[in-house]
Structure 1
Amino acid sequence: MAPNDRSRTPLNLQQRSILAGEAAAAEAFVESALDYPSDPSAAAFFDVDNTIMQGASIFHLVRGLYRREFFTTRELLSAGWKQAYFRIVGVEDPDHVAEARNSALAFIAGHTVKELQDLGEEIFDEAMAHRIWPGTRALAQLHLDQGQQVWLVTAAPVEIAQIIARRLGLTGALGTVAESEDGVYTGKLVGDMLHGPAKAEAIKALAARESLDLSRCSAYSDSYNDLPMLSLVGDPCAINPDAKLRAYAREKGWRIRDYRTGRKAARAGLIVGAAAGAVTGAVAAGVSLRGRRR
């Protein structure tokens, strides 16, 4: 069937979430040193942005790539504009929605997976390492000390998520999977971004693969959008929570940990979230840097 044939049945949100989750789980790998945890049926799942690290990881990644001329400002803003337009206008045409979704990663088309991985290592060192929250890092280490697997679960590209996990000594990472052929990015997503319901689908797929008992697992996030993930496990915890998640966690009696100062907590609503951050953060980076170069 031709790619532009409108008679095809488009994937709905649930199907895209399942596909994204399964793709993320398929990309997951376990560091050799952590192959045999002493408590193999339990694990902890951590969101990244504003949970493990301050701010949006995708913003720092895109800014670092932009500075290295990985893509042009025009490519960046074109992808961001398409996303913003369809998000604001609310167009429901399946072809338009698919175009907007795929345009999120259009600017990496033609680059190799290895290229992004290598640059990601540099960008982590210069822009992310010092932003890791010590308190959340300690929680992750506590689970490792108890012999449990610890996974990052994020809307950020799986390549950068795996770098963060490896640098922190964690088990592995689940992230958004960009389609590639023969090691070269096509510029499209596999399914959808690993956000909201897709995170829960990824965890379920990983749990099946690793024989995890989700009732014995823990999950940590700052965002109300991660309720599907938090509600999936027996031990959910709100880390640096937004207002809606804090209220919900209090109502449910969940643990709450806040490692921000009062000022940072007050500004939390201005920080880019995981889903919108993948585009908004990228556009902000391009606009900001373009302005500085004038």
Structure 2
Amino acid sequence: MSTARDRQRRRDELRRKDLQRRSVLAGEASAATAEVESALTTPNESVSAAFFDVDNTVMQGASIFHLARGLYRRKFFTTRDIAGAAWKQAYFRFVGVENPEHVEAARTSALSFIAGHTVGELQEVGEEIFDEAMADRIWPGTRALAQLHLDQGERVWLVTAAPVEIAQIIARKLGLTGAMGTVAEHVDGVYTGQLVGDMLHGPAKAEAVKALAAREGLDLSQCAAYSDSANDLPLLQLVGRPCAVNPDVRLRRHAKTHGWPIRDYRTGRKAARVGFAAGLVGGAAAGALAAASTLREKRR
């Protein structure tokens, strides 16, 4: 006779398999969109490459926050839209894990604010938002690390949960090889508001890198990866040269235990402020914060 514990174990296993399936799908979809910048002359015969997370690794703060704020200012969505998406994310975080409908709602709300807009629109606006809000937030130290890899003839890829279109803009602006990010489904160039697989987060990043490595003939044991978050341990453990950059507490502890190099470009209050913001900003909640921030500015 099946016990409650047995039923819970089966549910947990089904969720684990569903997460794995979505992570693989998201990773493969992101790797398939990764185009090499044609202007670069990095030799393709190199079997080593470097992979960089974006938020708080390459850029101060969360790129999705800057994107959502810029889109809100351009009337892409209303405060009611983003509040609804933020509620779904919060509800999922606290009680939705037991309910498949809440899990799906949280996923689909993550990039729902671009539904009905075109790929061309997001790319054009993304260029403007990078210049307005992201360019001066690049960590010089991390940028130097990326350039060092390029100078050594290695390719450099961004791997981020941000929309792949924004990731590609950041990579191009920084002169990197390319980027992988969350892939939003679009039909005839118009976004449906659905994701392909899942957010490119955690295990999905590792799947994306594995798919890209297979396509590009990379030897992951000779590759490097950089991140600030313990959520990216699947990616960091995949390569032969992991490095913690501006690490959170868990990643710093793990890096010290395993003898990984640590690079911290934050100082004093800035480190505390950036760490606090990273904990608050994520997915649709980033848009809610962006909207609130913009409203406060208008009231001043």
The normalised TM-score by structure 1 is: 0.93
Letter in 2 for 1:131: R
How has the CA–CA distance of structure 1 residues 38 and 115 changed in structure 2, closer, same or farther, with 3 Å as cutoff? closer
- 1:181 corresponds to which residue? 187
- 2:104 corresponds to which residue? 98
- 2:245 corresponds to which residue? 239
Gaps (5+ residues) in structure 1?
A: 1-8
Structure 2 residue 298 is the aligned partner of structure 1 residue 293: yes
- 1:282 corresponds to which residue? 287
Deviation of the 1:273 alpha carbon: 5.2
The answer as to whether partners of 2:202 and 2:234 remain within 8 angstroms in 1 is yes
SS of structure 2 residue aligned to 1:32: coil
1:152-231 superposed matches below 5 A: 152-231=158-237
CA RMSD of aligned residues (A): 1.7
1:108-123 superposed matches below 5 A: 108-123=114-129
| Cα deviations by residue, 1:193-236 (Å, 9 ceiling, x for unpaired) | 00000000000000000000000000000001100000000000
Equivalent-residue separation in structure 2 for 1:38 and 1:292 (angstroms): 48
Equivalent-residue separation in structure 1 for 2:91 and 2:123 (angstroms): 30
SS of structure 2 residue aligned to 1:150: strand
Deviation of the 1:77 alpha carbon: 1.2
Equivalent-residue separation in structure 1 for 2:287 and 2:20 (angstroms): 26
The answer as to whether partners of 1:272 and 1:280 remain within 8 angstroms in 2 is no
Equivalent-residue separation in structure 1 for 2:195 and 2:104 (angstroms): 10
- 1:23 corresponds to which residue? 29
SS of structure 1 residue aligned to 2:278: coil
Aligned residues: 285
- 2:275 corresponds to which residue? 269
The answer as to whether partners of 1:38 and 1:146 remain within 8 angstroms in 2 is no
The normalised TM-score by structure 2 is: 0.91
> Mean alpha-carbon deviation: is it higher for 46-55 or for 283-292?
283-292
From 80, 84, 89, give the equivalent of 1:78. Answer: 84
Equivalent-residue separation in structure 1 for 2:246 and 2:289 (angstroms): 23
Equivalent-residue separation in structure 2 for 1:223 and 1:120 (angstroms): 25
Equivalent-residue separation in structure 1 for 2:225 and 2:78 (angstroms): 37
Equivalent-residue separation in structure 1 for 2:44 and 2:189 (angstroms): 35
Structure 2 residue 56 is the aligned partner of structure 1 residue 68: no
4+ residue runs of structure 1 moved beyond 6 angstroms?
A: none
- 2:50 corresponds to which residue? 44
Deviation of the 1:75 alpha carbon: 1.1
From 245, 260, 273, give the equivalent of 1:254. Answer: 260
